[in-house]
Amino acid sequence: MGRLLIGGVLAAILLSACQFFVHGDPVVDSWPIGREIPCNEEARCMVFLATARAGLDARDPGHPAVVASTLHTEGATVDANGNRVVYARSGALYAVVRFELADGSAKAIGVGAAGPDPTLMAFDYGP
């Protein structure tokens, strides 16, 4: 009985310790940046990048020059207890575009559709 109790306590401690190793993806402008989506001059990809760039220019007029932009999935967000956060939306988020600027900073814009309207649009800040 004592071994079972000690084994149970050790298992609980190990399980709790694993929570320290759970991390979300990097966050830029409240957008969790997930894996990169290859973008090889495909029409849809180019439209996503152009829509995001227009959104960045409108949100942050006068920003430093963009030196690179990459398309990403929306990454994972975890709370303080290591639990994955799930967001409810009324539309669709297709991707997050991460911009590297000439001053070394990074910016991000989401690209998707709002509600039932399929029109592609930029979303300023993440969830």
Predicted structure pTM score: 0.76
**2 pLDDT more than 60:** no
Residue 76, C-beta contacts closer than 8 angstroms, at least 6 positions apart = 24, 25, 32, 34, 84
Rounded to whole angstroms, how far apart are CA atoms 26 and 2? 44
Per mean pLDDT, which range of 14-18, 59-63, 88-92 is the poorest?
14-18
Would you call 79 exposed, middle or buried from its count of C-beta atoms within 10 A (0-12, 13-18, 19+)?
exposed
Confidence band (pLDDT; 50, 70, 90) for 7?
Answer: very low
Per mean pLDDT, which range of 16-20, 78-82, 96-100, 122-126 is the poorest?
16-20
Q: Tokens representing 110?
A: 């989401």
**Count of residues making up the chain:** 127
**4 pLDDT more than 50:** no
Average pLDDT over residues 26-31: 92
Q: Tokens representing 42?
A: 């495909």
